[in-house]
Amino acid sequence: MTPIRKIFIANRGEIAVRIIKTARLMRIETVIGVSEADRDSLGARLADKVICLGPAPSAQSYLNVDLILHAARATGCDAIHPGYGFLSENRTLAQGCLDHDMIFIGPTPDNLDAVGDKLTARTHAIAARVPVVPGDTIDTAEDAQAIADRIGFPLLIKAVAGGGGKGMRRVDHPHELTQSITLAMAEATASFGDGRVYVERLVEQGRHIEVQIISDGDTILHAHERECSLQRRYQKVVEEAPAPNLDPLLRDQIHAAALQFARHIGYVSLGTVEFLVDVKRGEFYFLEMNARVQVEHPVTEEITGLDLIQLQIDIAQGINLRQSQSDIAVTGHAIECRINAEDSENNFMPSPGRITTAWFPPMAGLRIDTHVQSNCMIVPYYDSMIAKMIVHRPTRDAAITTLAQQLATCRLDGITTNIPLHQRIMTWDAFQAARFDTNSLQRFLDSAETRT
């Protein structure tokens, strides 16, 4: 065991605040590295020490590995917590911590290698005998045609190093194949510096189900699953736990597959194994593993009573898990809405600016994870998420009711947010009945735009 005395937080926004709060409870000092744009952020005011990393652009601050390693060492930190996004799954940072006798609060460099791109992760899934979507890697249009002959159309072309929907193309007909591959490779190269793509069967009616993994290297547990199917352009909008209307046998099989994958790669720390459930076929397939804490981790905390950040820190300092699988039970239902500074009624245009009033009225079962307060600035340089509204109630219906009440009464004045979108979702019959897939929200939005 190597006790952590001081953590360097290499992140910003609500996750930085979240880490600071748990570190305080654990009596661990915190140092936060901020860009010039975040000097007056809530995270900077809550941390024990603040150090400015550099200008606002991420490449010159939050994405500069050498700068962060130097700042952590210079401030006497013995560990770095990368949060999510930015450098959270960066092998160079994880290895740099090892090289400088610091603790990376996350998985090992080898773990990051194993899941660092979708192709490598897929290869590990196959080796672990975890189901994957039928398909294969390609180099040419002829390769793609051979796969299409085997599995049929429609197909999905995906960038190996992709994320957020970039480098992805749907192909419905053979004559679209060559051009779609060319465009996907070009977009992948431009976005990720890696033009490799692969082709797989397009699951037209799929649910995005992910399993929370907790591992100390010897004991590997799951903290049940989350439903993340409500997405817009491959970005999650609403998440909940447990997944509603999921066949109990299929649920157990998904949990077992997640543990099997994590065990195969010798995973250590928090992680999330993501699956696509083919609703029509009643099958599920491995998608990827996120080797970090997820944005939506609060819904898991609410239904299990766990502090996942504390567990992540404990594992990093060599404390073995005290729980067994039977200790991690589900109580009630939790739903999370991502509140973004964007105009959901105007093509989701970003809406930076000053929040003149930030007020969330207290309600039973309500949790707000945020870095915003009245009179704070929302800067235009980073992700638009400004708060997470999480409700935990005895039933799903009760959670929806509480969320609808909170959305109608909270105040975030001075900027435009996507709260109107969430209000519509709460009254949407498909959401209330939990009958949706990964394309449902986009269809709902498109139909609403058509009506207007």
Cα distance between residue 330 and residue 12, in whole Å: 30
Contact in structure between 405 and 426 (CB atoms under 8 Å): no
Residue 206: Cβ-neighbour burial (10 angstroms; 0-12, 13-18, 19+): buried
Binned at pLDDT 50, 70 and 90, residue 117 comes out as: confident
Widest pairwise Cα distance in the chain: 62
What does each C-alpha distance from 262 to 84, 327, 371, 436 come to in angstroms? 19, 20, 32, 28
| CATH entry, 206-451, from 3.10.20.30, 3.30.470.20, 3.30.1330.30, 3.40.470.10 | 3.30.470.20
What is residue 369's predicted lDDT score, i.e. its pLDDT? 98
Query: Which of 65-74, 154-163, 331-340 bottoms out in mean pLDDT, i.e. has the lowest?
Result: 154-163
Contact predicate 134/149, CB 8 Å: no
For the segment 17-30, the average pLDDT, to the nearest whole number, is 98
Domain ranges in the chain are 6-105, 134-201, 206-451
Q: What is the pLDDT of residue 142?
A: 87
pLDDT at 34 over 90: yes
Say yes or no: do domains 134-201 and 206-451 share a fold. no
The alpha-helical segments, DSSP class H, found in 218-324 are 248-264, 297-304, 308-316
Model confidence band, residue 451 (pLDDT cutoffs 50, 70, 90)? low
Computed over every residue of the chain, the mean pLDDT equals: 95
* Residues 314 and 307: beta-carbon distance below 8 Å: no
Where do the H-state alpha helices sit in 128-176? 141-151
Q: Does the pLDDT of residue 450 top 60, yes or no? A: no
Residue 234: which pLDDT band, with cuts at 50, 70 and 90? confident
Per-residue confidence (pLDDT) for residue 257, from 0 to 100: 98
Q: Calculate the dihedral angle through the C-alpha atoms of 202, 171, 190, 10, rounding to the nearest 10 degrees.
A: -20
**1 — pLDDT class (breaks 50, 70, 90):** confident
Q: Which residue has the higher pLDDT, 448 or 182?
A: 182
Mean pLDDT confidence for 330-344: 97
Is the model's pLDDT at 176 over the cut of 70?
A: yes
| Residue 201 annotated among the catalytic residues of the structure | no
The topology under which CATH files domain 6-105 is: Rossmann fold (3.40.50)
Does position 263 have pLDDT exceeding 70, yes or no?
Answer: yes
User: CA-to-CA distance for 59 and 405, rounded, in angstroms?
Assistant: 40
> What is the arithmetic mean of pLDDT over 407-435?
97
pLDDT bucket at 112, cuts 50 / 70 / 90: very high
Q: Give the fold, CATH level 3, of 134-201.
A: Dna Ligase; domain 1 (3.30.1490)
Q: What is the reported pLDDT for 125?
A: 98
Catalytic residue among 292, 338, 393, 396: 292
Element (H, E) at 278: strand 269-278
What are the CA-CA distances from residue 30 to residues 50, 191, 305, 387 (Å)? Answer: 9, 34, 24, 22
Mean pLDDT of 215-239: 96
With a CB cutoff of 8 Å and minimum separation 6, the contacts of 166 are 159, 187, 188, 191, 192
Residue 127 burial (C-beta neighbours within 10 Å; 0-12, 13-18, 19+): exposed
pLDDT, one tens digit per residue, over 278-320 is 999 999 999 999 999 999 999 999 999 999 999 999 999 999 9
Instruction: Give the pLDDT of residue 164.
Output: 63
Q: What is the pLDDT of residue 118?
A: 82
Beta-carbon contacts of residue 433 (< 8 Å; ≥ 6 apart):
none
* Alpha-carbon gap, residue 373 to 351, rounded angstroms: 16
At 318 the pLDDT is 97
Q: Is pLDDT at 187 greater than 90 in this prediction? A: no
* Contact assessment for residue 215 and residue 221, using Cβ atoms and an 8 Å cutoff: yes
- What are residue 385's DSSP bridge partners? 340
| Residues 220-225, mean pLDDT to the nearest whole number | 98
